[in-house]
Amino acid sequence: MEWSAEGLIIGVRKHGETSLILETMVPGRGRCFGLVRGGRSRKQAAALQPGNSALLTWRARLEDHLGLFTAEVTTMRAAVLIADRTRLYLSQMLADHLRLLPERDPHDTLLEAVLMLLDEHFDDAELGVELARFELYLLEELGFGLDLETCAVTGVHENLTHVSPKSGRAVCAEEAEPYKDRLLRLPRFLTADVPPEPGDVAAAFVLTGHFLDRHVWTARQIEPPATRDWLTMKLTGGL
Amino acid sequence: MANPSGGPEIEQLIQLLSRLPGLGPRSGRRAVLHLIKKKEQLMIPLAAALDRAVEAVKVCGTCGNVDTVSPCTICADPRRAESGLLIVVEDVADLWALERAGIGPVRYHVLGGVLSPLDGVGPDDISIDALIARAPEYREIVIGVNATVEGQTTAHYITDRLAGSGVKITRLAHGVPVGGELDYLDEGTLSQALKARTSF
């Protein structure tokens, strides 16, 4: 078995004294692992860092095997990420999010979104918007997409302002009014191409965080990414 | 199957030595044969030294260094307290590397790893709480973790936790290594080296 493609390195694990196990996200193939012999050498270790992209060649006798990677780095982002705390935390959080996906299951749109988030130089407000949209799309790709198009009570498509924390379905303003304190706020920028209003990005992170916790982190008994709290505070002006 | 390496004692010795860094089954076998040949000069003193080390080696309760006393000789040295400088490192090998470099009378704190979601290492798995407790005793804390993505994420996390302690927090410089050639360096490292330039 053999394939070659350019992929994003999302994790690196030491293996023995000289080798590394590389966790990558590859277009058309999804999250793929492979052993890099000699990956801990001075020359290779600096290049094989999370956040960098590499031209990968994977070889194995059977498809189920871990396989061997040879990697030639094509885009070096790690040093730039290390220099900027927000982007460093962002890269770690995105890698943690991609790690929620099953192995060898392609999610090319998510990968494109991650590369866009890593490469574009957004300011904090723009990054908050893009990251909240990414988490919403991640939920959908994981099979827990929210229904934000139609009111769960009346069936209308306009003036949707809240989301039920149980069903993940939108609720219109009139129906939401008596239960506002028990519902999650639905910022308009998540459903329409409009700029966020004050407090919207924070509300969006509360919304996506609630459903990621409910469907993924708690269900799988894993901790939320350690970087998410700081990053969401920073991007919503809380720091 | 016949045992090609002698009795079970010898086979066990080969297996144990094979697990050491830099050794495999073949080199483990060679080492055992060498020890057997040099029984008086090597094997018996080695066994005695291992026995003494097992009894004596302790992990320092203050900094996490390995020594035969706790607190270790570095923590017990009063001259090192005067500098008010604490260097935070990932593991004991890093501490020993800095000591070999002769950087002066400083004290250390060994984290015992870095935050690594892939390996399931979280803040509670490394020695961060002990560092927070020690911080007020020092004038400056240097975060000396590796310049890797995981190392620097840990550095930022520690900086967050130390915020409000009133201690100056610094980190090791990133840039061109001694013997490094500019055209082999990546753009990010070059950019950081330029930002951290010093007067000549």
HSE-CB at A222 with a 13 A cutoff on CA atoms is 17
pLDDT-derived band at B187 (thresholds 50, 70, 90) equals confident
Residue B2 has pLDDT above 70, yes or no: no
| Predicted pLDDT of residue B27 | 94
For residue A229, what is the nearest residue in chain B, using CA coordinates?
B157
Residue A106 has pLDDT above 70, yes or no: yes
| Predicted pLDDT of residue B1 | 45
| Predicted pLDDT of residue B69 | 92
Residue A148 has pLDDT above 70, yes or no: yes
Residue B26 has pLDDT above 60, yes or no: yes
Share of chain A above pLDDT 90, in %: 82
CA-based end-to-end distance of chain B? 70
What is the C-alpha separation between A96 and A37, in angstroms, rounded? Answer: 25
pLDDT-derived band at B200 (thresholds 50, 70, 90) equals confident
| Chain-centre distance for alpha carbon A128 | 13
Partners of B188 on chain A (C-beta within 8 Å) are 76-83
Predicted TM-score of the model (pTM): 0.84
Secondary structure of residue B145 in the 3-state scheme: coil
16-75 of B, contacting A, C-beta below 8 A: 21-22
Q: What are phi and psi of A15, to 5 degrees?
A: -135, 115
B164 touches chain A (CB under 8 A): no
Secondary structure of residue B85 in the 3-state scheme: strand
For residue A91, what is the nearest residue in chain B, using CA coordinates?
B149
Q: Do A89 and B191 touch (CB under 8 A)?
A: no
Planar angle of CA A46, A49, A54, nearest 5 degrees = 100
Query: And the tokens for B71?
Result: 């607190």
Q: Residues 6 or more apart from A41 whose CB is under 8 A from it? A: A18
Provide the mean pLDDT of chain B: 90
pLDDT tens for A46-82 read: 889 999 999 999 999 999 999 999 999 999 899 888 8
Q: Mean pLDDT throughout B16-41?
A: 93
Whole-complex ipTM = 0.80
| Predicted pLDDT of residue A6 | 96
DSSP per-residue codes, A161-210: EEE-TTT-BEEEHHHHGGGGGGSEE--GGGTSS-PPPTTHHHHHHHHHHH
Which domains, from first to last, does chain B contain? 1-35 (no CATH), 81-171 (3.40.1360.10)
pLDDT tens for B43-94 read: 999 999 999 999 999 999 999 999 999 999 999 999 998 889 999 999 999 9
| Predicted pLDDT of residue A126 | 94
Q: Mean pLDDT throughout A19-31?
A: 96
Residue of A47, A85, A88 with shortest CB distance to B149 = A88
B150 touches chain A (CB under 8 A): yes
Q: Do A49 and B189 touch (CB under 8 A)?
A: no
pLDDT tens for A155-214 read: 999 899 999 999 999 999 999 999 999 999 999 999 998 999 989 999 999 999 999 999
What is the C-alpha separation between B110 and B126, in angstroms, rounded? Answer: 9
| Predicted pLDDT of residue B5 | 60
CA distances to B8, B28, B45 from B37, rounded to whole Å, are 18, 14, 14
Where b means 16+ CB within 10 Å and e means fewer, B76-99 reads eeeebeeeebbbbbbbbebbeebe
Partners of B119 on chain A (C-beta within 8 Å) are 13
Which domains, from first to last, does chain A contain? 2-80 (2.40.50.140), 122-235 (no CATH)
DSSP per-residue codes, A130-156: HHHHHHHHHHHHTT---B-SS-TTT--
Residue B106 has pLDDT above 70, yes or no: yes
- Nearest Cα of chain B lies from the Cα of A82 at a distance, in angstroms, of 6
Q: Which candidate, B32, B40, B37, B41, places its Cα nearest to that of B14?
A: B32
| Predicted pLDDT of residue B93 | 94
- Nearest Cα of chain B lies from the Cα of A79 at a distance, in angstroms, of 5
Partners of A83 on chain B (C-beta within 8 Å) are 174, 188, 191-192, 195
- Nearest Cα of chain A lies from the Cα of B182 at a distance, in angstroms, of 14
| Predicted pLDDT of residue A150 | 92
What is the C-alpha separation between B57 and A165, in angstroms, rounded? Answer: 55
| Predicted pLDDT of residue A179 | 93
Residue of A45, A88, A96 with shortest CB distance to B152 = A88
pLDDT tens for B140-153 read: 999 999 989 999 99
